[in-house]
Amino acid sequence: MNILITGASGFLGYYLCGQLLNRDYAVVATGRGICRLPYTNNNNFVYAEMDFTDQEAVKNVFREHRPAVIVHAGAISKPDECELDRSAAYKINTEATGALLSEAAEYKSSFIYISTDFVFDGEKGMYTEEDITRPVNFYGQTKLEAEKIVKQYQYSWSIVRTVLVYGKPMAGRSNILTIVKEKLERGEEYKVVDDQVRTPTYVEDLATAIVSMIKNKTSGIFHISGEDVLTPYEMACKVADYLCLNKELIKRVTADTFSQPAKRPPRTGFNIDKARRELSFCPISFSEGLKKTFGD
């Protein structure tokens, strides 16, 4: 059973490929450019160069590998980039999802779509899967439009929404925790917002949930995140405390401090009761996530 992953060279893709291979699944990792993943010696691993916005390239890869499951993790995930180039964001995040689904239908593949908490407006917080979606920026809008297309798929589909993913970075990649570390180690001040609320997600927990969905052939919408309710400022302070770095360099600010093209939802965070019940999902605490992120 081939499992095809888009965006396999990204943060989630790296860990998802590793977990699937550890469980003896056959993985077809796809991405633009050469393979940057360290799994090429595994007999169950294949890398196929594929721009998923290129319908002919998608058709060729699908024809060769005939995937039973597709995990669509590829996207433009930076809200400001999406706001500044709406055409590219819509093409990559929305239109390409529809094209992948069209090709997936030829093989009756199961389709797992990775979405975001930014489909919500952030007025309520601790959202369930049934809560009303209302994005406040174009990134969230492109992901929501893609979700709507996924829901029309005639075969098995799942949508995985997640929140502020963190963990041990790949080479050349960073996330909020590693950025804090780098800034403080250089003795630089770092402004971090304290008026946005999230339930940060440890990347390997997210990958584990997706593997569970594949194993159990689960369908529907699932909210996957951590349980700790934190602001980015609180997260940054916990990093400084854990690494014994100078917390005084972290400056508490509000979202109004920055002139960002894309508005951010103030309060997101997820209720994960459904994932606990149906996937036996049990995320680690943020303090444990810190240890895993910065441990050897």
Q: Is the pLDDT of residue 72 over 90?
A: yes
Please report, rounded to a whole number, the percentage of residues in the chain having pLDDT higher than 70: 99
Distance CA 293, CA 40 (A): 24
What is the average pLDDT across 263-283? 97
Q: How far apart are the first and last CA of the chain?
A: 34
The widest CA-to-CA distance across the chain, in whole angstroms, is 57
Q: Is the pLDDT of residue 174 over 90?
A: no
What is the average pLDDT across 176-182? 93
Q: Which of 23-32, 75-84, 128-137, 172-181 has the lowest mean pLDDT?
A: 172-181
> Is 178 exposed, middle or buried (CB count within 10 Å of its CB: 0-12, 13-18, 19+)?
middle
Positive or negative, the CA dihedral 107, 26, 19, 173 is negative
For 154, phi then psi, to 5°, come to -80, -10
What is the average pLDDT across 158-162? 98
Closest CA to 13 of 50, 64, 56, 63: 50
Quick one: pLDDT at residue 238?
97
Closest CA to 243 of 287, 283, 190, 188: 287
Quick one: pLDDT at residue 172?
64
Domains and CATH numbers, the chain: 2-166+201-228+267-284 (3.40.50.720)
What is the average pLDDT across 233-258? 96
**Structure confidence by residue, pLDDT tens digits, 195-225:** 999 999 999 999 999 999 999 999 999 999 9
Quick one: pLDDT at residue 170?
78
Where helices occur in the chain by DSSP H, the ranges are 11-22, 55-65, 79-84, 86-90, 96-106, 138-151, 176-185, 203-216, 232-243, 273-279, 286-294
230, 169 in Cβ contact below 8 A?
Answer: no
Quick one: pLDDT at residue 295?
85
Q: Is the pLDDT of residue 171 over 90?
A: no
For 134, the token pair is 């209302």
Q: Is the pLDDT of residue 296 over 90?
A: no
Query: Over the range 87-99, which residues count as b (16 or more CB within 10 Å of their CB) and which as e?
Result: eebbebbbebbeb
Q: Is the pLDDT of residue 121 over 90?
A: yes
30, 49 in Cβ contact below 8 A?
Answer: yes
Task: Say what the pTM is.
Answer: 0.97
CA distance to 3, 100, 201, per residue, from 215 (Å): 11, 22, 21
Quick one: pLDDT at residue 23?
97
Quick one: pLDDT at residue 169?
84
Q: Is the pLDDT of residue 85 over 70?
A: yes
The mean pLDDT value of the chain amounts to 96
What is the average pLDDT across 147-154? 98
Quick one: pLDDT at residue 176?
87
What is the average pLDDT across 49-78? 97
Residue listed under structure tokens 């490929």: 17
